[in-house]
Structure 1
Amino acid sequence: MKTIINTSNAPAPIGPYSQAVVAGNLLFVSGQIALDAKTGELVLDDITTETKKVMENLKAILTEAGTDFTSIVKTTIFLKDMGNFATVNEVYGSYFTEKFPARETVQAAALPKNVNVEISVIAVLG
């Protein structure tokens, strides 16, 4: 059995997928990009601002699911340019305090809407 998580505080899906799905005690959050949920506009001012928007979109979905960053056990970061790794890592790391999740970071030739960063997460609920 699965439960779909959806919030207007994060961007609506731009394809046939859900913002997040709960299966058992696991929460699978789809990759988030720097789309502003209220305006539908991309936030691409610089890589720091873009990454913060991605993390805030993740936060909104986690909140809707009744949890926060402390429940995340796995993340995947997709970067258009691995040269942005240090900056993205600094912003990403500011959302965690201890017991960091497992993670991989990969460079992708292209990301949705030509963004520079996309992040997905898996969390444990309860």
Structure 2
Amino acid sequence: MDEVLKAANSSFGQIVKSTVFIKNMNDFAVVNEVYGRRLGGALPARSCVEVARLPKDVLVEIECIATVSK
């Protein structure tokens, strides 16, 4: 995600909304810890949804909306 944000002239600090899709809600604490550590002090709006299956059978997928720098 870092590389995609950089390519769009953005960063983790410019994320305004994210959605976390997680295969097993029992993993929420681990995902939340990594997510919080990676985003640092940024606190964008966020939702987390448990899903039955993700592409390529990954355990977590994150989509985000971020502003871009000019």
Give me the TM-score of the superposition, normalised by structure 2: 0.92
Letter of the structure 1 residue corresponding to residue 62 of structure 2: I
Partner of 2:60: 117
Bigger radius of gyration among the two: 1
Q: Which ranges of structure 1 fall in alignment gaps of 5 or more residues?
A: 1-57
- Within the alignment, does 1:62 sit opposite 2:8 as a pair? no
Higher-helix-fraction structure: 2
Question: In structure 2, the residue corresponding to 1:85 is in which secondary structure?
Answer: helix
Question: In structure 1, the residue corresponding to 2:28 is in which secondary structure?
Answer: helix
RMSD over aligned Cα, in angstroms? Answer: 0.9
- For the residues of structure 1 that align with 2:42 and 2:57, how far apart are their CA atoms? 32
Quick one: higher RCO (CA 8 Å, sep 6+), 1 or 2?
Answer: 2
Deviation, 1:99, is: 3.7
- For the residues of structure 2 that align with 1:85 and 1:111, how far apart are their CA atoms? 16
Deviation, 1:78, is: 0.3
Count residues with an aligned counterpart: 69
Stretches of 4+ aligned residues off by more than 3 angstroms: none
Which residue among 16, 22, 37 is the counterpart of 1:73? Answer: 16
Letter of the structure 1 residue corresponding to residue 28 of structure 2: F
Percentage of matched positions with identical amino acids: 46
- For the residues of structure 2 that align with 1:74 and 1:87, how far apart are their CA atoms? 20
Measured against aligned partners, the alpha-carbon deviations of 1:70-112 in whole angstroms (never above 9, x if no partner) come to 1000000000000000001101111122240000000001110
Question: In structure 2, the residue corresponding to 1:74 is in which secondary structure?
Answer: strand
